[in-house]
Amino acid sequence: MDENKRKNTLLSSAVEHGIWLSMSQGSAVAWAYMQAYHVPLDAIRRVLAYPEARRQRPVEFMR
């Protein structure tokens, strides 16, 4: 089994969009968006504070 595969597609989509928002509109907007979609706070902190520790994203998210 792929250890980087996310199990919850709704949360996965919220995180991916949050990452995009952080790059385009800033971390505060991304934080608020992900929090509204109930992304766990430790996950929000990790993806915003440590981009090098993010899971590898599919090619379609890497535009």
pLDDT value of position 31: 97
Q: Which domain holds residue 13?
A: 9-61
**Predicted confidence band at 15 (pLDDT cuts at 50, 70, 90)?**
very high
Is 2 domain-assigned?
no
Angle value at C-alpha 16, between 57 and 28, nearest 5 degrees? 135
pLDDT value of position 38: 94
Is 14 domain-assigned?
yes
Burial of 14 (0-12, 13-18, 19+ CB in 10 A): buried
* Greater model confidence, 58 or 8: 8
Query: What is the share, in percent, of the chain residues with pLDDT greater than 90?
Result: 57
Is 43 domain-assigned?
yes
Is 4 domain-assigned?
no
pLDDT value of position 44: 95
Is 53 domain-assigned?
yes
- Give the total number of structural domains in the chain: 1
pLDDT digits (tens, 9 = 90+) for 30-59: 999 999 999 999 999 999 998 877 777 654
